Amino acid sequence: MTQISRADDPVSLWASARVGDLLDGHDEPPRYGAPEWQQLPNGDPRKAAAMIAAAEMWRKFGDEENLVAWLRDASRNREPLATRKTLAELDAAARATPAIPVQAADGWPPVRIPGRPGWRRHLVDGRQVDLPRGEADA
């Protein structure tokens, strides 16, 4: 998830200013939907401040289950760096390996030969034989 600094996020700036105006010296509002929040009178500005704060949390972090899953993943034990492959090992694994030559096998149909359209590789008397398509029957 890309984090935007608060100074570059006009929505966050607006929400922060609006919550500050609504609280106007009051303590932090109770959590949106909590019993304390439900007991506030409908006209209480702390009720609106809690709703804006909850909306901002949703906008930034998604639902609570996703946030908890993200936190759980972020805090899980990782594989120690010493056990990971080195850059040299990763480079060696990424090197191209030579192509395996096309070989016909006993009991299998002839194999097409890359770069030679119309030619097939056959296994004839234990030898690899390249023939134009259709000549093996002759």
Same domain, 33 and 68: yes
pLDDT at 52: 92
62-111 pLDDT, tens digit each: 777 877 887 888 888 888 888 889 999 999 999 998 888 899 999 899 99
Same domain, 123 and 68: no
Same domain, 71 and 27: yes
Measured CA to CA, the distance from residue 11 to residue 97 in angstroms comes to 53
Same domain, 15 and 66: yes
Q: How many domains does the chain have?
A: 2
Q: Is residue 1, in this structure, part of any structural domain at all?
A: no
End-to-end CA distance of the chain: 66
Contact present, 111 and 103 (Cβ < 8 Å):
yes
Same domain, 16 and 70: yes
pTM of structure: 0.43
20-66 pLDDT, tens digit each: 888 887 788 899 999 999 999 999 999 999 999 999 888 887 777 87
Q: Is residue 91, in this structure, part of any structural domain at all?
A: no
b or e along 2-29 (b: 16 or more beta carbons within 10 Å of the residue's beta carbon)?
eeeeeeebeebeebeeebeebbeeeeeb
Same domain, 66 and 117: no
Q: Is residue 84, in this structure, part of any structural domain at all?
A: no
Q: Is residue 124, in this structure, part of any structural domain at all?
A: yes
Rg (CA), the chain: 34
Angle at the Cα of 126 (from 120 to 129), degrees rounded to 5? 25
Q: Is residue 93, in this structure, part of any structural domain at all?
A: no
Domain hosting residue 128, numbered range: 101-133
Q: For residue 82, which phi and psi values (nearest 5 degrees)?
A: -65, -20
For residue 53, with 0-12 CB atoms within 10 Å meaning exposed, 13-18 middle and 19 or more buried, which class applies? buried
